[in-house]
Amino acid sequence: MSNNNRREGSVIYQNCLASAEDLRGWVMEGEGKISFPFGRLHLENKLDPEDYGDDAHFVYWCPETFPDEMIVKWDFYPVREPGLCMIFFAASGRNGEDLFDRKLAERTGKYPEYHSGDINALHLSYFRHKHDNERAFRTCNLRKSHGFHLVQEGADPLPPAADALPPYRMRLVKDGAYVHFSINGLTILEWTDDGSRFGPVYGGGKIGFRQMAPLKAAYGHFEVRQLLRV
């Protein structure tokens, strides 16, 4: 089934991300700084990456558990570079536990804890402006973990923060084995999991935003909807 046969259904979760009250219950892993200039969520690192390295990065989780068949949308505003943005989805324990089950190892924002630790997840990096090679040739990367498997790439149309005219509307479709990602209506990548090469197809789970320091970025109008097939 093509993405054209998938439509947005009723709202499962909606959050304008405009105030501390809107973020009640969200879970920060690592040392992230939260503020709300202009009525939207701004995220940046508390720790200097020059001194703290991987400890300066963080993940911010929505507390809800989402179903498999869903469409996720959010506004994205790049503010300060360099850095990298990522969204985790379909995240849960490797044995089906809730992501926040206390039996799972503690996570503190270090990337290996997420791709080679106690959890399974799909993760999409969509603003890869951290290292020189990423800035020189920009792509969006979809990975499946446990295992850090790069399963799909697409060209990244987002300009450097200094040239950006946000907001950029991000849209992510998760329908069983099928994943589709677009920015401002432009398809960036799509992928169908064969359920074999990198393990079984993932179902529902948690959604989280990851940033690599020293990036500062803002987010707004986060929405998850049911997926309808027509």
Q: Which of 209, 186, 163 is CA-nearest to residue 62? A: 209
Query: Residue 134: its pLDDT value, please?
Result: 86
Looking up residue 83, the CATH number of its domain turns out to be: 2.60.120.200
Q: Mean pLDDT, to the nearest integer, of 196-220?
A: 97
pLDDT of residue 129: 87
Determine the straight-line distance between the first and last CA of the chain, rounded to whole angstroms: 10
Q: What percent of the chain has pLDDT over 90?
A: 93
pLDDT value of residue 2: 66
- Look up the pTM and report it: 0.96
CA distance 116 to 45: 23
The model's confidence at residue 4, banded by pLDDT at 50, 70 and 90, is: confident
pLDDT for 131: 83
Domain count, the chain: 1
pLDDT of residue 27: 98
Amino acid 229: pLDDT: 84
Range of the domain at 161: 3-175+201-229
157-165: average pLDDT? 96
Task: Give the span between the Cα atoms of 54 and 168, in whole angstroms.
Answer: 27
**Largest Cα span, the chain:** 52
- What pLDDT shows up at residue 167? 98
- Examine the pLDDT at 146 and tell me if it is beyond 80: yes
Question: What pLDDT is attached to residue 135?
Answer: 87
- What pLDDT score does 3 carry? 78
In a domain, 186, yes or no: no
Least confident of 69-83, 105-119, 126-140, 201-215: 126-140
Domain membership flag for residue 29: yes
